[in-house]
């Protein structure tokens, strides 16, 4: 960072250079975030994928997006997971939605509940 502004003669010019440099960083972050959001929205559980693997993948995407500044409510993530589970797990998802208060749960709790109740499948 110092090397970038060391040869600049005035503080105004140094400040302008830093603003331009970091402005590009913000654009790159926004582009990365948009890519992550697109990938997140396209996620769905594959036939060969376990509940734990699928939920872990969703959790990882959410953490990456939050690190880039996106505010993703936990409830939105859980509802997405329940919608996109394979058909054979939908009954467990419906039961969970009706018997649990999703607003009071964390994603990891939902993953544990589904893992426990889908082992027989």
Going residue by residue through the chain (121 aa), what tens digit of pLDDT does each one get? 566 667 778 888 877 877 777 777 677 788 888 999 899 888 888 888 887 888 888 889 888 988 888 888 888 887 877 777 767 776 666 666 666 666 776 777 777 766 766 665 5
**Predicted pLDDT of residue 79:** 80
3-state secondary structure 51-107: HHHHHHHHHHHHHHHHHCCCCCCHHHHHHHHHHCCCHHHHHHHHHHHHHCCHHHCCH
**Predicted pLDDT of residue 92:** 67
Hey, where are the domains in the chain?
2-118
**Predicted pLDDT of residue 91:** 65
**Predicted pLDDT of residue 40:** 87
**Predicted pLDDT of residue 94:** 64
CA 23 to chain centre: 24
**Predicted pLDDT of residue 30:** 84
């Amino acid at each position: 960072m110092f090397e970038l502004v060391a040869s600049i003669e005035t503080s105004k010019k140094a400040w302008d250079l830093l603003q331009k440099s970091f402005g590009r960083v913000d654009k790159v972050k926004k582009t990365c975030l948009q890519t992550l959001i697109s990938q997140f929205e396209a996620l769905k559980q594959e036939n060969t994928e376990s509940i734990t693997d699928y939920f872990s993948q969703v959790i990882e995407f959410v953490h990456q997006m939050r690190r880039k500044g996106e505010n993703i409510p936990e409830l939105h993530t859980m509802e997405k997971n329940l919608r996109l589970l394979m058909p054979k797990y939908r009954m467990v998802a419906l039961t969970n939605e009706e018997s649990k208060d999703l607003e009071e749960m964390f994603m990891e709790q939902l993953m544990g509940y589904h893992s426990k109740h889908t082992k027989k499948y």
